[in-house]
């Protein structure tokens, strides 16, 4: 699964990386959690745009999101058959830019050790996603999105059995082109990256708490140093909140 990620791409870099014409301001984030705003790249009427959306997809037919489970991830193998994802797969394919993501490995003592995972070439990750707009009874609208996951490759399977579906730059147009590329063809892009395409290292257990959003979270640590009590972190590390946009 993918439950936390980092996004430190500067807004000025977004038009170059994604060939987008419009982008909203977005501060560097090192510990993005579900329900928080995320940057999402979409294609509308032949133009690419970057929009802030809520991480946690809510299908348009849901009457009350409070009574609906939080859909942070969509399983790539099954999403075409799931009512919650079918329409988004046809009409709401998107890309979620990321610098890297976190995953937790369960040790022999059942302690979960977080790892930070990035592309081996240090390029931005293009996470395949689905998005849709939920409309409320009072006219309110919320743009929501979910990441797509696949079975982990052989390198990452030592940490977790799932990983995000990560696209290559050459696949971006076909994934976003919902008008030109049918869902059946787009699904062929959803597969694990080869093991050599990724690298990872252990990080501090500070990332376990969404209260902390600090550049130090992505730095490698020795495993014996990873479980640092939260009280050791400076107050400044917890100043950024969940950005209550929704």
List, for residues 16-59, the tens digit of each pLDDT value: 999 997 788 889 999 999 999 999 999 998 899 999 999 999 99
Question: Which helix (DSSP H) or strand (DSSP E) does residue 176 occupy?
Answer: helix 172-176
Element (H, E) at 47: strand 47-55
pLDDT tens string 217-243: 999 999 876 655 444 444 433 333 333
User: Beta-carbon neighbour count of residue 144 at 10 Å?
Assistant: 27
Q: Where are the domains of the chain?
A: 4-238
| pTM recorded for the entire structure | 0.89
Residue 53 and residue 38 in contact, taking contact as beta carbons nearer than 8 Å: yes
How far is residue 205's CA from residue 208's CA, in Å, rounded to a whole number? 6
Among 60, 61, 44, 42, smallest CA distance to 52 is for 42
Let me know: does 149 contact 73? Beta carbons within 8 Å. Answer: yes
pLDDT (0 to 100) of residue 209: 95
Question: What is the per-residue pLDDT for 228?
Answer: 52
Contact 200, 159 (CB under 8 A): yes
The CATH number that domain 4-238 falls under is 3.90.1680.10
H or E stretch at 96: strand 93-98
What is the biggest distance separating any 2 CA atoms in the chain, rounded to whole angstroms?
52
Taking 70 as the pLDDT cut, the residues of the chain under it are 1, 225-246
Please give the pLDDT value at position 225: 65
């Amino acid at each position: 699964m993918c439950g936390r990620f980092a996004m430190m791409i500067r807004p000025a870099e977004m038009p170059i990386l994604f060939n987008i014409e419009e982008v909203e301001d977005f501060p560097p984030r090192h510990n993005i959690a579900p329900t928080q705003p995320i940057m999402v790249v979409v294609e509308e009427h032949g133009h690419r745009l970057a929009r802030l959306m809520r991480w946690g997809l809510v299908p348009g037919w849901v009457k009350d999101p409070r009574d609906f489970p939080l859909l942070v991830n969509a399983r790539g193998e099954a999403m075409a058959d799931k009512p919650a994802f079918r329409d988004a797969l046809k009409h709401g394919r998107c890309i979620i830019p990321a610098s890297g993501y976190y995953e937790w490995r369960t040790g022999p003592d059942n302690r979960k050790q977080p790892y930070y995972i990035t592309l081996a070439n240090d390029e931005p990750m293009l996470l395949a996603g689905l998005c849709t707009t939920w409309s409320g009874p009072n006219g309110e609208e919320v743009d929501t999105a979910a990441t797509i996951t696949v079975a982990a490759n052989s390198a990452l399977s030592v940490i977790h059995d799932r990983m995000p579906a990560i696209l290559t730059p050459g696949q971006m147009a076909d994934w976003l082109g919902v008008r030109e590329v049918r869902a059946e063809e787009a699904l062929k892009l959803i597969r694990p990256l080869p093991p050599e395409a990724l690298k990872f290292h252990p990080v501090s257990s500070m990332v376990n708490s969404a209260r902390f959003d600090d550049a130090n979270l992505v730095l490698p640590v020795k495993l014996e140093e990873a479980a640092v009590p939260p009280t050791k972190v400076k107050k400044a590390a917890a100043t950024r909140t969940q950005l209550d946009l929704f």
